[in-house]
Structure 1
Amino acid sequence: MVDDVPLAGLAGQTIAGVLMAAGRQSWRTTGRRSRPRGVFCGIGVCFDCLVTVNGLPDVRACQRHAADGDEVTTHA
């Protein structure tokens, strides 16, 4: 579930992969200028793909594998 919308994914897919497969290119904005951010590096080095997963903030969507029952909240 992403922002209260059910999304399907494949086994082993990251949250970023699920979001991108659903057509989302960005899911948070920068603090100062509200610029859109999504996957930039894809390997967990940057912080552009942050989401909240099951109440835990600042999870890198490119590193976290999606699991049945996850509640994901984006920051966009």
Structure 2
Amino acid sequence: MSRISEHPILGKKEKGKEVEFTFDGQKMKGFENEPIAIALKANGVMIHRYTKKEHKPRGLFCAIGRCTDCVMVVDGKPNIRTCVTPLKEGMVVNTQDGVKAVGM
């Protein structure tokens, strides 16, 4: 199974109810309140963003919210650290290109 069951900072949490969310236009399922990155990994998604300059793929790296490798556009807002942001029903998650300037 590809689901991470214990987060290095958030610890082990009880599994929430199953919810549906959208990733790059595709419907997926995860568990409420688990980090978005964990739900994506469980669905086989390993790329969260691409670097701006060389368009290199980035994904889950530190899993504690310190780096920017897992940032994505969530519900229209860029730079969301998906490794520590809880999944909610109906979220719209999109791959991000680079790291956006604040306020974009």
Which TM-score applies when normalising by structure 2? 0.68
Give the one of 8, 25, 32 matched to 2:53: 32
Shift of 1:7: 0.7
Residue 11 of structure 1 and its aligned partner are, at CA, apart by 3.0
**1:1-76 correspondence to structure 2 within 5 Å:** 1-75=22-96
Q: Which runs of 4+ in 1 moved over 3 A?
A: none
**Aligned-residue RMSD, C-alpha:** 1.2
Secondary structure of the corresponding residue to residue 40 of structure 2: helix
Identity %: 36
State the one-letter code of the partner of 2:57.
P
Structure 1: runs of 5+ lacking an equivalent: none
In the TM superposition, residue 52 of structure 1 has moved relative to its aligned partner by 0.9
Deviation at 1:27, TM superposition (A): 2.0
Structure 2's unaligned 5+ residue stretches are: 1-21, 98-104
Q: Which has the higher strand share?
A: 2
SS of the equivalent of 2:96 reads: coil
Matched residue count: 76
